[in-house]
Structure 1
Amino acid sequence: MEWYLALAFLLSLILVLMAIGTPIAMAFLAANVVGAWYFMGGGSGVIQMLDNGFGALSSFALVPIPLFLLMGELFFRTGLGMRMFNAIDRLMGRVPGRLSYVTVAGGTAFATLSGSSMGSTALMGSLLVPEMERRGYKKHMAIGPILGTGGLAIIIPPSALAVLLGTLARIDIGALLIAGIVPGLVLAGLYMLTIYIQTRIDPDAAPAYSLEAVPAGEKLILVLRDILPMISVMAIIIALMLSGFATPSEAAAFGALGVILLAVIFRCLTFTAFQESVVGALKVTLMAYLIVFGSATFSQLLAFSGASSGLIQWAIGLELSPVLMLLTMFAVLLVLGTFMEQISIMMLTVPFFFPLAETLGFDLIWFGVVVLLALEISFSTPPLGLLLFVMKGVAPPGTSMRTIYMAAIPFILCSMLLVGLMIAFPGIATWLPGMM
């Protein structure tokens, strides 16, 4: 069978199964079984395919996923996240658009510690949007920053999605996690610049209101008690990986232990909170492991059928410049993001895009950050970005989808600008991993 027929056969089978409501992991597994039976010699091929899949699940590189998820669940359910938000809120003072800046600053820290875009968006949307509307903020000033910072959880470590991408693409997970730090901070800075421009253009979008001044001594206490301990968890994780003292898996274990110790110190670790955190992390972990199983076997099936090598040779034969090829792959990720969720997109594209990127001479860690940025943008891209519907679910009654779409656009443009900066200056993503 020609490579393009094999590729069309496998992808069509997966898409049909997904269209009739089959869970993504099960759709890939069913397609793999059919493909292995046809391309790899019947029952013996299916057995070999299953053996390969179980071998992928035994990878030590997957260990950070449940630990990072547990860390984020504990941070959310014990209330440590709200302590940090409240402290940042009081420290901002009478700055115009203060709550929008608080959303970016606090949301970046929360996204960093939680690693969950949906969790970050749901928490901030349910707590901050009603409060900002009560204080006279226009809806786009409340909704836009939350959608933007929710996506930062994909980029800034610890990111379970980055660990999954590194596992599927077979690249250095520690380097990929570290590579997201500088782009994530640059993006947060662009978000703050966007808010500043919005408040200058329309001062009524974020009206000023009276606020009791916080004495300098109390500000110091807020930083030392409610902010520094939380941020130190992330700093320790990064330092452990940068120094080479710990692998990403070991650093993730230190991070989860650090959040547990903080919850004990602040007397907010209850049995209910711990139980809910473990159950929440376990559910997502099982889904992720099933996805790794399906994706690993799918990649091998593509290689065995000749579909992946044939597609790469065809793409190279187009004689597009590397930048144009990169933009084409980026556009494919954005289009897929309008009707698929991020993990499904990775499963479909990683087996093709990373070998192609390597052939084009791209640094795979840098390319991994570009892919994560594309996934981050697609998370909030109209009309079907997942974070848009999360926001709709927690926003005050009467908030239209059009309002949410319009609020998201300036922050999507910030992410696009960051991609352009990374193409022009790759060191934004490669500098910090180079220090490892």
Structure 2
Amino acid sequence: METIHMALLGLVGMFVLMAIGMPIAFAMLLAGAAGIASILSFSAATHLVSTTVWDQFSSYSLSVIPLFVLMGQLAFRSGITERLYAAAYSWLGRAPGGLASSTIVASAGFSTICGSNAAASATMGMIALPEMKRYGYSRALSAGAVAVGGTLGAVIPPSVVMIVIGIQTEQSILALFLAGIVPGILLTLLFIATIAFICWRHPSAAPKGPATTLKEKLIAGLSVLETLALFSFVIGGLYAGLFTPTEAGATGAFGALVIGLVRRGLTIPRIIEAVLESLRISAMVIMLITAAVVFGRFLTLTRLPSELAAWVTSLPVSPDIILVAILLIYLIGGAFVDALGFLVVTLPIFFPLSAALGFDPIWFSMMLVIVTTIGSVSPPVGVNVFVVSALAPDIKIGAIFKNVFYFFFSFVLCIALIWLYPDTVLYLPRMLQ
């Protein structure tokens, strides 16, 4: 059997294993190991898998993942999110849809210290949904705002998705972090504009909140300076070369711990919960990366990535058309499979292809981050939507997806602007050179 056919058989086998319920990491690992064994030998496959697992789980570069995850978990349990929401509400609550817009702004603020979209949705949902219900907001609009606000956790640094992409494609994590700042701000503004449009079309969906004085606004703003300081110190220290990404994660986690203890928002049980949840998430992500390395080596042996790149670049079509096809694959795949898992599975195939087509790796990575993030609010999987639904079981899933649909235009416009003006992504990373 030709190696290309074996590669296709391995891909089909992997997706079949996923379809019958096997976790993505184990499906990749099993398909990759079986493929290597069929090309080389069983002993070669077992040796490669064992050494890869050891190398990845003992890798210093991967230690950045649990540290940034711990930073977000400590921040989540220390009360930072409540202060972020209160500050955003004091400034925006009086405007039409102000509470929903406050949810978006607070989600963006929380995303600067938490790299997970599901965690951002869960955190903001517990705070914002009761408040919007109290002020008579449409339940579907409230849930939609929380769900899409959570997607900022994957776009705004420090993002776990960016860390995984950086490690898997051997790119600078700092460059990816810097590349995500402008798109994150852009998406935040577009989400707020979408809420304003919804309120213009349906004024009763979002009544105005009570007015706040300038003094109250200033006091609320001062209460979140610690969050801004922590984000600035972590990213600024990385940029200035004061510490490596791993040291930045450790610094951020320590800073979140200090803030929580000084604010008396952290107790021993909460710290233990944060550590245990960080271990669970980190083990899952590192296992995904390990399985992706094994599966990637199988694909390398089959020469599928290089053959695909050579075939695609020889097609008589524009690279932009091919890129559209790639993004559509990620959009559809992200709607059915966990976004991070789908990225890990497909990067060994499409990242070399994008390089062969001449696309900047940082720019291409950010396009993938945004496109796959849409999957977290798209049916049928839409993990953020299901997280919000669990917090508010009185809201029908269909109603949440319907309101989330309004925000899809924000994603499309953001992608279009990044495509037309690549410097929105590349300007800050180029400052490193």
Alignment-derived partner of residue 390 in structure 2: 393
**One-letter amino acid of the counterpart of residue 88, structure 2:** I
1:30-429 pair list within 5 angstroms: 30-209=30-209, 211=210, 213-214=212-213, 216-224=214-222, 226-397=223-394, 399-429=395-425
Displacement of 1:143 in angstroms is 2.1
For residues 343 and 54 of structure 2, the distance between their equivalents in structure 1, rounded to whole angstroms, comes to: 19
Q: Secondary structure at the match of 1:158?
A: coil
Task: Report the Cα distance in structure 2 between the residues aligned to 1:173 and 1:278, rounded to whole angstroms.
Answer: 23
Whether the aligned pair in 2 keeps the contact of 1:36 and 1:46 (CA below 8 Å) is no
Q: Give the deviation of 1:231 after TM superposition.
A: 1.8
Q: Runs of 4+ in structure 1 displaced over 6 angstroms?
A: none
Separation in 1, partners of 2:53, 2:365 = 23
1:114 is paired with a residue whose SS is: coil
SS at structure 2 position matched to 1:432: helix
CA offsets 1:271-290 (integer angstroms, 9 cap, x no match): 01100000000001111111
2:27 counterpart residue number: 27
Give the gaps of 5 or more residues in structure 2: none
TM-score scaled by structure 1?
Answer: 0.95
Superposed CA offset, 1:371-406 (max 9, x none): 100111111112322112112211241x22221111
Offset at 1:150? 0.4
> Structure 1 residues 32, 334: CA separation in 2 closer, same or farther (over 3 Å shift)?
same
Q: Is the 8 A contact 1:96 1:208 kept in 2?
A: yes
Tell me the amino acid that sits aligned with residue 141 of structure 2: M
Distance 1:408 1:212 in 2: 28
Aligned equivalents of 1:175 and 1:360: distance in 2? 21
Deviates more, 1:285-294 or 1:424-433: 285-294
Identity %: 32
Partners of 1:281 and 1:319 lie apart in 2 by: 48
1:233 Cα deviation from its structure 2 partner: 0.9
Q: Deviations over 1:179-213 (max 9, x none)?
A: 1011000110111111122222322221235x253
Q: Which amino acid aligns with 1:382?
A: P
- Taking the aligned partners of 1:282 and 1:56, their CA distance within structure 2 comes to 16
Structure 1 unpaired stretches of 5+? none
The CA deviation at 1:429 is: 0.5
8 Å contact kept, 2:33–2:298? no
2:336 is paired with a residue whose SS is coil
CA–CA separation in structure 2 for the residues paired with 1:342 and 1:37: 29
Name the CA distance, whole Å, in 1 between partners of 2:171 and 2:373.
20
Asked whether the equivalents of residues 117 and 154 of structure 1 are also in contact (C-alpha less than 8 Å), the reply is yes
Counterpart CA distance in 1 for 2:71 and 2:48 is 36
TM-score by length of 2: 0.95
- Whichever residue aligns with residue 180 of structure 1, its letter is G
Counting matched residue pairs gives 432
Change (3 A) 1:6 1:343: same
Stretch of structure 1 that moved more, 10-19 or 415-424: 10-19
1:134-170, Cα deviation, whole Å (9 max, x unpaired) = 3221234312221221001001111112101211122
C-alpha contact (below 8 Å) 2:183/2:424 kept by paired residues: yes
Distance 1:129 1:48 in 2: 49
What do residues 225-250 of structure 1 show as CA deviations (whole Å, max 9, x unaligned)? x2111121111112112222222212
Q: Is the 8 A contact 1:3 1:311 kept in 2?
A: no
When structure 1 is superposed on structure 2, of 353-362 and 34-43 the one drifting more is: 34-43
Note closer, same or farther for the CA distance 1:202–1:8 as it changes in structure 2 (3 Å cut): same
Distance in 2 (alpha carbons) for counterparts of 1:195 and 1:19:
36
Kindly indicate whether the alpha-carbon contact (under 8 Å) linking 1:67 and 1:256 is maintained by their aligned counterparts in 2.
yes
Query: CA separation of 1:261/1:149 partners in 2, compared to 1, >3 Å: closer, same or farther?
Result: same
Shift of 1:316: 2.0
